[in-house]
Every structure is written in C-alpha cells, then in structure tokens.
Amino acid sequence: MLTIWGRKTSSNVQAVMWCVEELGLPFKRLDIGHKFGGTDTPEFIAMNPNQTVPVLQDGSHSPLWESGAILRYLATAYAPDSFWPANLLARTEVDRWAEWAKINVALGFTTPVFWRVVRTPVANRDPKAIAEAVAALEAKLRIADKRLGHLRFIAGSELTLADIQFGHLLYRYFEIDIARADLPNLARYYQDLTTRPAYQSHVMISYEDLRA
C-alpha cells in the first residue's frame, strides 16, 4: 500500500496520483499543504525537509520526495515495459521527454502563467507579462504539437512516464482564461487524455481553492 501526502489541487501531486492509478496501485492519500497545513510539523519535516508535497512512502521504505523522483521510482518498481522501457536507449527517450516537460513546460507555465492568471488578484495582474509568458510557453508547446502530428503520445504510440509529466499540465492550460494559440495536434492529444479515467479522477480537478 502506497501512502501519499499531498493535497489533490497540487499539480505535482496530481502527476503522481495519475501515475499511481494508471499503474493500478493501491494507495492512501492524505490531504496536506496549502489550506490543510501540516508541512511545517516536525513529523513532516522529518520526511521532507523542503516542506513540500508530494511525499510518498511505499511499505517500510524511507519516504520519497520530489515528484520526478517519485514518478521514476513508481515506474521502475511497478510499470510495464511499454510505460518505462527496460532498454536503456528506449527508456532514455521517454526520460528525455519527461525532463523536457518538467523543465521547459512546467516551469514555463506554473509560475509565469498559472500563478499570474489564477493566483494573483485581478487588480494586480499584468496582462503584458501574462501575454509574454504565454508566448514563451507556446513556443515550447509548438514542439509538442509538431511531434504529436505523427505520434499518439509524446514519446511514442503508448502512454509513458513522459505523458504523465507533460499531460497533467494541460488541463489547466486549456481551462484557464487566456488567449491560446491554435495547436490542433496538442488539442487532440489533450482530448484523448481527458477520456482516461485516471486523468479524470486526479487531474481534471477544480482549482477554485487556489484563486486569489
């Protein structure tokens, strides 16, 4: 049984939970962080000195933190070869796109766009900064759009760890109130993800609690 500490509205928690359910793993998730508090307790700091979520414990193993490391652990321990290949070169291809999504897309969306649009009071928003951030983000998303013109998923023909890192951000990208570029292949990919029960359960979650 996996134990995951982290509120369901955290995008990093959502990525981990989506992965857990795609892999069919039993779990218990505990609300912690943001309005729930708890990350500053001695017990939580002992698990993760960064005081961030998610944190995962698998049986008697020491708790794990950092969502990317958690995802790789879950994939290595439990995933089929199609999700996280045993072959080094094939796995590195998946990992390359997972890293690309984490560094280029997540960092370009969460604070520069999502925080400015959703977590900043209307009176304090900077439309010019938002537009510039969206343009920078979409320069990266065009890479995905081109790739998805000939692939079903970001790293190939089947869902992989790379899709978890990339796809969990798209619900918010397509839902928040911004002007979006016409990226038809990305839109098709996102619509495909929205049909997956695990994506519906753990990613397509209201973020109203996060509004300023």
Tens place of pLDDT per residue across the chain (212 aa): 999 999 999 999 999 999 999 999 999 999 999 999 999 999 999 999 999 999 999 998 899 999 999 999 999 999 999 999 999 999 999 999 999 999 999 999 999 999 999 999 999 999 999 999 999 999 999 999 999 999 999 999 999 999 999 999 999 999 999 999 999 999 999 999 999 999 999 999 999 999 99
CATH topology of domain 88-200: Glutathione S-transferase Yfyf (Class Pi); Chain A, domain 2 (1.20.1050)
pTM, two decimals, is: 0.97
**Domain ranges in the chain with CATH number 1.20.1050.10:** 88-200
**Domain ranges in the chain with CATH number 3.40.30.10:** 2-78
- Residue 38 CA to residue 44 CA, distance in Å, equals 7
Domain 2-78, classified CATH 3.30.70.260, yes or no = no
First to last CA, the chain: 36
Q: Kindly list the distances between the CA atom of residue 25 and the CA atoms of 74, 91, 103, 180, 195, in Å, as whole numbers in the listed order.
A: 9, 21, 27, 36, 20
Strand partners, 58: 2
Q: Which of 185, 166, 152 is nearest to 96 (CA)?
A: 166
